[in-house]
A and B are shown apart, each in its own frame.
Chain A
Amino acid sequence: MKKNLKYKFKILLFSLIAINGLMIFLSIFKLFNIRKSVDELMTYNFESIIAINDMINYSEKQNIALLNYIATQNPSYKMDFYNMEDSFINSYEFQISRAKEIGEPEITKEIYNSYRTYLNSCDDIFSKETSEIVSVHLTDYYDKIQVNYIKLKDHLKDLYDINKNALTIKMTHAQEEIRLSFNLLLFICLFTVVFSLIVSNRYLNKLLLPLSTLHKAIKSFKDGNFSFESQVYSEDEIGELYKEFKNMSDKIVEFKNSTLGQLVEEKNKSLSIVKSISNPLIVLDSNFKCILVNNSCENYFNIEEQNILGQHILNFIPNKDLYDFIYESKKERVQGKTKIMSFDEEKYVFNISISTIISMNSDLNGIIIYFQDITKIKKLDHVKFDFISTLSHELKTPLTSIMMGASMLEEDSIIKNEEESGKIIETLQEDSQKLLDMIDNLLRLTELENEQNYLNLEATDISEIINNSIRNFITIALSKNIKIVFEKDKNIPLLNIDREKFFWVINNLLSNAIKYSLQYGEIIIKLKYRKKVVILTIKDFGIGISPESIPKIFDKFYRENELSNGTGLGLPLSKQIIELHSGTISCESKLGEGSIFEVNIPITGGNL
């Protein structure tokens, strides 16, 4: 691998080390330079100045020794003088070896010459005899030696100045050098720092950016986002990792798309199934907030899903009992717990069942509330209960008198005469017959209710049925002196009806009309044909029906008054039969004036 990670790190590290090395080298070089110039300063100028100072000192001491000698003639001064000479020469030789400044060697040589001249002039004094007068010596001194001494001193002073100047200049130079070096080093340092920062930053970024991108991608993998669209940065190990990761993500996306597509399809399918369930259904999350409601739920509770998503159930179905029930079920985590509750002021009755959605790590993911609409069932239940209790009452009533009569006959000791027993037996027969009629009618009614096609349809002349019926009742009518009139239009068509059942209906209506008619009354039967409908009216002038009873007369077991003594099933049964023929039956009546029953039969008859 040519450009592997190790190589890259090495380059980065080496370049940083090289820069540092360069900097160190430069610093050492500069320091060396400074040291050198300081050394030079010390060697040539500073030491020269010391030597020159020594020379000045020695010459001054020599001169004093000379003057003392002249004054005292003491030979010890002469000794001092010559000792000083050696020291002076030593200093001079030291100085000449260090004379490097411009004009310095010349002046040094000049000093040597003038020193020699001075010494020579001094020698004259020392060579003279001690007897010679001091004044002579002093005169000599002033005349010959002092000039030379001053000359020497001047030269020394010059040399001192040269060296001092040179020192000053060199010091300034050195300071300048130090300053420059400092600046240069500072600059290099700064540059190195900045450069290192830039280089390392750039290089590290380049190295680490892919890693952080990868980290982000892995993180988003965790959240279910498997797409990874990032270009490959390099050809090193990270580049390889990238390539592999990209391959993996591509494969996952591919897999996901194939399964996800199916899942989405499945989800949509399930959703539309849930939505189309005819009973309301609500899905809540674990905080009782709405996740989903189906169409039926929207209709029943008059809500819209988009408005209530994420809302607490009490916000859109403010029913405390329901909430309590859900709350309890959630707590117990029972599946399919049911409860019957009514809503909307008993308008709807629901059998509510609650299931919980439990995730794989047994957390509660949701609550499903299913409202099974049992309003109709409840109503039917009620109707059934009413019917059965009415029926049992209706059956028990004739049965009571039968049982009483029978038990009385059993204990014949208490029966006083024939007349009484005859009366009892008559009642027994009457009530037995009534019981039988009731059971017959009831069976017929249930038959009709259960089997819609229980009609024996045939083309029938309805007026013939009416005539037959009138013939049936003529004797009873005559006994009450009731006149029966039958009027009919000429164009009455044949009707496709069940002859037998219609005969029963007309018998029933006619029997009622006779029963409720007064003595010497009249019954008018009319048959008309209007707009493809045959209209039959049966009118009596009897006792009539009270307005509040009219709506109830077609109910089972309803009897207007005690006189009726019927089964309470005749009119409901008639209505049922007529309705099976797609017809209608209605009643108009006034109490004390009589009643009109109107039957409408469309000519289609039973052909529904």
Chain B
Amino acid sequence: MKKILVVDDTKNIREMLKTFLEMEGFTVFEAKNAEEALNIFNTENIDLIFTDIKLPNVSGTELLKQIKKNNRFVTIIVMTAFGTIKNAVECTKYGAAAYLQKPFTTKRVKAVLEEVLRKDTLKKDLNSYITLAKKLIEEEDYPKAEEVLNKALTIDNQNWEIYHLIGRISELQENEEKAKKFYYMSDILKQG
């Protein structure tokens, strides 16, 4: 059972979200400001956070940054009433997985949740593919490794590590031109 933390200074929104998420089968924790949120986050093993941007004292963006600094894999969904693109871009830049614009319905929450969770699973799949590919490379089974990596590319074609690994396989297979091409792509993605 996944643990979700809801951070909002408005009591009713917190309670509504809690009711809904509990109905969906999550364990829900509530926090009315960033300090409380951090306390709960540090004591409980939280998987997902819903947070408002506008919070008293410490803002939701700041909270997002602080949590993301130490826990890269926590999924954070940002809620806001200021529907500006600038805001959304800023939040995604700091690592928010999704952006929920107020006011929203439970359907919307559900859709966002599903999307986020799907991405999480894919990410996990991706990681397992990469691990497998690495293992296969070690075993010098290059065609199989490349096949696995190609599958990984269908999930995420923006991952530098995949390109790097393909490059390495090509290098080991003495296909230098291809290796060069993939290393180059990998470098670009890594920088970008």
- Residues of chain A whose beta carbon lies under 8 Å from any beta carbon of chain B: 389, 392-393, 396-408, 411, 414-416, 420, 423-424, 427, 430-431, 561-562, 565
Nearest 3 interchain pairs by C-beta: A407-B105, A396-B81, A401-B12
Q: Give the complex CA separation of A420 and B16 in angstroms.
A: 10
Q: Could you say which residues of chain A place their CB within 8 Å of the CB of B41?
A: none
Name the residue on B nearest A423 (C-beta).
B19
What's the Cα separation between A402 and B15 when bound, in Å? 12
B106 interface residue, CB < 8 Å from A? yes
B175, chain A: closest CB distance, angstroms: 55
Whether a CB of chain A sits under 8 angstroms from the CB of B178 is no
Q: How far is the CB of A12 from chain B (nearest CB, A)?
A: 97
Distance between A566 CB and nearest chain B CB, rounded to angstroms? 12
- B6-33 to A contact mask, C-beta < 8 Å, 1/0: 0001111101110110011000000010
Judge whether A562 and B12 touch: CB under 8 Å: no
Which residue of B9, B15, B54, B81 has the most chain A CB atoms within 10 A of its CB atom? B81
Q: Which of B11, B16, B54 contacts A404 (CB 8 A)?
A: B16
**Residues in chain B within 8 A of chain A (CB atoms):** 9-13, 15-17, 19-20, 23-24, 32, 54, 56, 81-82, 102-107, 109
Given contacts A404-B17, A404-B109, A414-B23, contact A562 B104 (CB under 8 A): no
Contacts of A561 in B (CB 8 A): 56
Question: In whole angstroms, how far apart are the Cα atoms of A404 and B100 in the complex?
Answer: 13
Q: Is the CB of B82 within 8 A of A393?
A: yes
A557 to chain B, nearest CB (A): 11
Residues of A within 8 A of B19 (CB): 408, 420, 423-424
**B102 contacts A399, CB within 8 Å?**
yes
Assess whether B12 is in contact with A430, with CB atoms less than 8 Å apart. Answer: yes
Q: What's the Cα separation between A400 and B23 when bound, in Å?
A: 18
Q: A405-B16, A423-B19 are in contact. Are A400 and B104 (CB under 8 A)?
A: yes
Contact B20 A404 (CB under 8 A): yes
Q: Which of B12, B15, B82, B105 contacts A398 (CB 8 A)?
A: B12
Closest to A415 in B: B23
Q: Please indicate the chain A residues that have their CB under 8 angstroms from the CB of B107 in the complex.
A: 407
Contact A407 B106 (CB under 8 A): yes
Whether the pair A408, B106 counts as a contact (CB closer than 8 A) is yes
Contact B23 A399 (CB under 8 A): no
How many angstroms from the CA of A565 to the CA of B105 in the assembled complex?
22
Given A424-B16, A427-B16 in contact, is the A402-B103 Cβ separation under 8 Å? yes
- Name 17 extra pairs, CB < 8 A, besides A403-B105, A431-B12, A565-B11: A393-B54, A398-B10, A399-B102, A400-B16, A400-B102, A401-B13, A401-B15, A404-B17, A404-B20, A407-B107, A408-B19, A408-B23, A408-B106, A430-B12, A561-B56, A562-B9, A562-B32
Shortest C-beta distance, A393 to chain B (Å), equals 4
Q: Is the CB of A397 within 8 A of B81?
A: yes
Complex alpha-carbon distance, A427 and B32, angstroms: 17
- CB proximity of B73 to chain A, nearest CB, Å: 28
A565 to B23, CA, bound (A): 26
- Taking a contact as CB atoms under 8 Å apart, the answer to whether B20 and A401 are in contact is no
Residue among A400, A411, A431 facing the most chain B CB atoms (10 A cut-off): A400
A404 lies within 8 A of B104 (CB): yes
Q: How far does the alpha carbon of A431 sit from the alpha carbon of B102 in the complex, in Å?
A: 15
In chain B, what residue has the closest Cβ to A392? B81
Residues in A whose Cβ lies below 8 Å from that of B23: 408, 414-416, 420
Instruction: Report A91 CB to chain B, min CB distance, Å.
Output: 146
A562–B11 CB distance below 8 A: yes
- In the bound assembly, the distance between CA atoms of A408 and B20 in angstroms comes to 7
In angstroms, Cα B118 to Cα A318, docked, is 59
Among the interface residues B16, B20, B109, which one has the most CB atoms of the partner chain A within 10 A?
B16
Q: Within 8 Å CB of B109, what residues of A?
A: 404
B111 to chain A, nearest CB (A): 12
A490 shortest CB reach to chain B, Å: 46
CB-CB under 8 A from A405, the residues of chain B are 16
Distance A414 CA – B106 CA, assembled complex (angstroms): 11
Task: Give, as a whole number of angstroms, the nearest-CB distance from A496 to chain B.
Answer: 41
Q: CB-CB < 8 A to A415: which residues of B?
A: 23
List the B side residues contacting A404 at CB < 8 Å: 13, 16-17, 20, 103-106, 109
The answer to whether A403 and B11 have CB atoms under 8 Å apart is no
A414 to B9, CA, bound (A): 26
Contacts of B20 in A (CB 8 A): 404, 408
Least CB distance from A350 to B in Å reads 27
Cα A393 to Cα B8 with chains together (Å): 13
Cβ contacts under 8 Å, B54 to chain A: 393
Q: How far is the CB of B49 from chain A (nearest CB, A)?
A: 17
Chain B hits for A408, CB < 8 A: 16, 19-20, 23, 106
Q: Are A389 and B16 closer than 8 Å at their CB atoms? A: no
A389–B17 alpha-carbon span in the complex (Å) = 24
* Alpha-carbon distance between A404 and B19 when the two chains are bound, in angstroms: 10
Residues of B within 8 A of A424 (CB): 16, 19
User: What is the CA–CA distance of A424 and B106 in the complex, to the nearest angstrom?
Assistant: 13
**Minimal beta-carbon separation of A222 from chain B (angstroms):** 65
- With a 10 A CB-CB cut-off, give which of B23, B24, B106 has the most chain A CB atoms: B106
A23, B24: Cα distance in complex, Å? 143
The one of B15, B104, B106 that contacts A411, using a Cβ cutoff of 8 Å: B106
- Nearest Cβ on chain B to A426's Cβ, whole angstroms: 10
CA A431 to CA B19, docked complex, whole Å: 16
For the complex formed, measure the closest distance between the CB of A420 and the CB atoms of chain B, giving whole angstroms: 7
- Among the listed B11, B16, B81, which residue makes an inter-chain contact with A393, where contact means beta carbons less than 8 Å apart? B81
